[in-house]
Amino acid sequence: MKKTPVSFWGIGPTFVIISLILCLPVRFVAYRYRALFTLTFAPFLFYVFGAVCAGAGLWLWIAAGKRVDDYIRQGTLADKGIYGLVRHPIYAGIFMVFSGGFIISRSIILMPLVLSMYLILRLLLKREEATMYRAFGAEYEAYAKEVNAIFPKPRSLYAAFFYPEKTHKVSATLYVIQSRDANLYVYTDGQTYICIDTGYDDPQLVAEFARAGLHPDQMDAVFLTHSDVDHIGGLGLFDQAQLYLGREEEPLINHTVGRFTKLYKNQRIQRPYHLLDDNEILTIGNITIQAIATPGHTIGHTSYWVDGQYLFTGDAVILQNGQLHPFYRPFSMKHAQTVASAERIRATPAHWLCTAHTGIGAM
């Protein structure tokens, strides 16, 4: 395990102290002579933009701070999730909180301090960046090319949280197939083929199978973790396969329950299917599959434990910077159940965890 060469606090205290020394006298003058220095037009726009900036900064600061100590102890380079947005989310958060306050003030002598603080932060970061380059070498260099230091690239807003594997053969028995921002998986004993999820309704999906030396027609069975469009959309390619899904998911596909509201409903399944109960075990060929109820993301979300080795979890959990976490709250029907399902997955003695949007990892 590599010891991370920076402390928990890093340059944070230095940046805050310098910022306060710079800001407080100017803030005093701005308040003392506010009639002279305060802009009077469109105050609502300043309040809204400043509040959004400060709120986003506070979120960055808190979200990154919750886990940074773990990454420092583990000696790992965190480059996903909040650290996939910007390389220094805590410092970026502090900067945005200060900046939001300056904007809300509407002061023509406080707002220019945003630029001053940015330049100070960039100068302070030079030493820490050099330390990280020395510690992680090419790994950090590649990370720095993909992710900005303070301001996120537009594509990072999505790629930081959804980073599927490219299509490839994982082992003699397992293939991962990419379908846009999702992965589906093919497991085989050499004779029988099963597919976990079907990805999007994507014209490139057959080509992705071909890239792995496979074809959807080879599949003997399809197991759906749940019925969202990125998991069920490609089902039409698997006409010859038997179809399985969790029993509690059925209300979503027969439209007795809406996905988020009564107005948004998941796709109907217009073909025969088999419903699986929690802990139900079945054998297809020489492959043993155990259904494990992992609700929360959807009401009937089901994970599949295959041959005691691989646990296919769909959208029950994410893998992020070497850690397992419940799937993202905004996408959950009942997030408390998602959290409980993550604990159940954590307790399952599988060797490998295969997620739908964040790749594969050892348990």
Q: Which two tokens stand for residue 54?
A: 């400060």
Q: What mean pLDDT do residues 204-212 have?
A: 98
Encode pLDDT of 296-329 as tens digits: 999 999 999 999 999 999 999 999 999 999 999 9
CA distance 354 to 153: 28
The answer to whether 57 and 97 are in contact (CB under 8 A) is yes
DSSP assignment, residue 321? Answer: T
Burial class for 121, CB neighbours closer than 10 Å (0-12, 13-18, 19+): buried
Which is nearest to 363 in space by CA: 329, 332, 317? 317
Amino acid letter, residue 209: F
Q: How confident is the model at residue 146, as a pLDDT?
A: 96
Percent of the chain whose predicted confidence (pLDDT) is above 70: 98
CA distance 118 to 124: 10
Check whether domain 168-362 has CATH 3.60.15.10, yes or no = yes
Q: How confident is the model at residue 6, as a pLDDT?
A: 62
Encode pLDDT of 100-134 as tens digits: 999 999 999 999 999 999 999 999 999 999 999 99
Query: Per-residue pLDDT for 8 more than 70?
Result: no
Q: How confident is the model at residue 1, as a pLDDT?
A: 42
φ/ψ (deg, to 5) at 224: -95, 125
| Residue position matching structure tokens 């209300």 | 251
Amino acid letter, residue 303: S
Query: Per-residue pLDDT for 70 more than 90?
Result: no
The pLDDT-based confidence of 5 (bands split at 50, 70, 90) is low
CA distance 356 to 361: 12
- What's the whole-model pTM score? 0.92
The answer to whether 85 and 160 are in contact (CB under 8 A) is yes
Domain boundary assignment for the chain: 12-158, 168-362
Query: Per-residue pLDDT for 152 more than 50?
Result: yes
Encode pLDDT of 27-60 as tens digits: 999 999 999 999 999 999 999 999 999 999 999 9
Q: How confident is the model at residue 4, as a pLDDT?
A: 54
Q: Is 199 left (phi over 0), alpha (psi -120 to 50) or beta?
A: left
Say which range, 7-11, 100-104, 115-119, 255-259, has the weakest mean pLDDT.
Answer: 7-11
Q: For residues 231 and 72, which has the higher predicted lDDT (pLDDT)?
A: 231
Helix (H, G, I), strand (E, B) or coil at 107: strand
Query: Per-residue pLDDT for 76 more than 50?
Result: yes
Helix count and strand count (H, E) for the chain = 12, 15
| Residue position matching structure tokens 């990072």 | 156
Q: What mean pLDDT do residues 81-104 have?
A: 96
Q: How confident is the model at residue 22, as a pLDDT?
A: 92
